[in-house]
Structure 1
Amino acid sequence: MFAGKANKALLGVNAVAVIAHNKDGLFATDPEDMGVGQELRKLGAYREKELQRVLSYIDNNDNVLIVGTHVGAMVIPFAKRCKAVAAIEANPDTFALLEMNLRLNDAHNVQAYNIAASDKAETIDFVSSRTNSGGAKRMPKVRDFRYFYDSPETIAVPAYPLDEYLKDQTFSLVFMDIEGSEYFALKGMQNILAKAQTLSVEFIPHHLRNVSGIGPRDFLDLIAPHFEHLLIPTLNTRVTKDGFLPALQKMFDQDQVDDGLIFTK
């Protein structure tokens, strides 16, 4: 691991990037980031168990959509194992690190987009967390202290429905990690979901309540029409469509988190 001055054109600021190395490649991270960046630097991996689980659903003929890429900790491993990746990242500083990491790892089969996913074309207020850049999110409906404890900057970012922005593109797998904005993104990608074979999406009750202002039924209304089966890894449980709502409602009521629910056809 080493630190060096980052190119201002790459990062948009006069910053220091710390380079972490693991089995999947090199990852430039923000040294202030105590979330994804720290995990990559200290452990040499990020959510390895989840990564391997989701990778088992694709092969080298598949196209993958990753919504909420952060610096590319998931993008780079996916790019090595599939045909092509479309990578969506809203935070401009994080996006600059993502672009750097695509170059560091010669990930030529990745197309990266510096936008937020939403249900309409708009400009949204975006909370750019400093100590946990992976926790950056659209402005929550409820300003819970845990989203603002580090006095994050609020910036404006462009947002689009992915059905329009990625029109006519088809993805076998959709991987989503966007800190509570799932509801808005899912509303804007119903055509993409109809063609996808697999959806991996985090389930964090306080994000649904506070960021989107919804519950499990609203969440599932956008997913259940497209998928028949659900794997809940934290519970080691599989349910069919009629069990989606009872299972997630119970988790919601108990504030139980899952980093990656997996819905399949």
Structure 2
Amino acid sequence: MKSLYWRMVFFLKTRKSRKVRKSLGTNIRAIITQSSNGLFAVDPEDLEVGEKLRKGGFGLDEIERIKSLISDDSRVLIVGSHIGSLVIPISRHCKEIVAIEANPKTYELLSLNLRMNNIENVVSHNIAASEKTEIITFFLNTVNSGGSKRAPKQSHFMYEYDSPERVEIQAHALDTHLSNHAFDLVLMDIEGSEFFALKGMPKILQECKSLIVEFLPHHLRNVAGVDAETFLKQIPERFTKVTIPSQNVTLSREEAQAFLLKMFRDQKGDDGLIFHIE
């Protein structure tokens, strides 16, 4: 019954997205909108981040959490930058951002949005983060372009309901690709590829002060093909505290381990666990 409900939800979203595209015409690449995040070019078919920006703002609570972890001197790495809805407002509160975005279509919008907002302290890279240098198959979703991802190990209708285009893209281990960089904060939201990215950046993780990373059980199981325990082993023990915003708790690393394993079993996720040093 639950599966049927979500299939219907995704069907209706896809239909709405295609109606928007049809009404605007096939030549419209983006709509310009002013939001609390800044001035943005958004894909009219995107009913998630794009629609929220058109209606006023996206991720404003998360932006405030991030701001509390940085200063004007901070260097920030954002892996999964999408069209810049977090990158642009955060760039005004730190020294430098390195922005990683795998999706070539959203990368075009990210580049445009950086220029429209006169952002000069962001260096962007159109690559995927992985455990090694490789070519990966990538899904380009349209209804939720932020949900675009590397081809899952286990297929599921929630990743393919809008018949995403599949492309081959370049991926790199970030320790190698960004070998001359050090960061105070790493923020990662890459739709299930977090496990692979973490394996490719142990040096970066040993040097940063805080790590924010998405934790979604279905992504771990289906996209990465790992369980929560295997995933958490990729995060250095030097991070002794974990904040779980969705549960409004901050725990010791040991307490968080048990808490997150239970969340995984219960199919509960969090858009951005915060690992920090006491």
Smaller-chain TM-score range?
over 0.9
Residue type of the partner of 2:113?
Answer: N
The superposition leaves residues 191-241 of structure 1 with CA deviations (integer Å, 9 ceiling, x where unpaired) of 001000000111110000000001111111111433110001111111112
Q: Distance in 2 between matches of 1:112 and 1:15?
A: 25
1:232-256: CA deviations, max 9, x gaps? 1111111112123201111001111
Aligned match of 2:133: 121
| 2:127 aligned partner, one-letter code | I
From 149, 156, 163, the equivalent of 1:144 is 156
Corresponding position of 1:85: 97
Deviation at 1:24, TM superposition (A): 3.5
Deviations 1:118-157 (A, max 9, x none): 0000000001101110000000001100000000000011
Amino acid paired to 2:71: D
Q: Is the 8 A contact 1:216 1:245 kept in 2?
A: no
Q: In 2, are the aligned partners of 1:123 and 1:158 still within 8 Å (CA)?
A: yes
1:14 positional shift: 5.0
Instruction: Tell me the TM-score normalised to structure 2 length.
Output: 0.89
Partner of 1:29: 42
**1:204 match:** 216
Stretches of 4+ aligned residues off by more than 2 angstroms: 13-16
* Partner Cα separation in structure 2 for residue 66 and residue 15 of structure 1: 28
Deviation at 1:181, TM superposition (A): 0.3
Residue aligning to 1:8: none
Structure 1 stretches of 5 or more lacking a match? Answer: 1-12
The secondary structure found in structure 2 opposite 1:261 is strand
Deviations 1:87-129 (A, max 9, x none): 0000000000000000000111000000000000000000110
For the 8 Å contact 1:68–1:90, the answer to whether it is kept is yes
Where do 5+ consecutive residues of structure 2 fail to align? 1-25
SS at match of 2:271: strand
1:195-234 equivalences under 5 Å are 195-234=207-246
Checking the alignment, whether the CA contact within 8 Å between 1:68 and 1:88 is kept in structure 2 is yes
Taking only aligned residues, the RMSD between alpha carbons, in angstroms, comes to 1.1
Distance in 1, matches of 2:186 and 2:57, equals: 21
Identical amino acids, percent of aligned pairs:
49
1:15 positional shift:
3.8
TM-score norm. by structure 1 comes to 0.93
For residue 84 of structure 2, what is the amino acid of its counterpart?
G
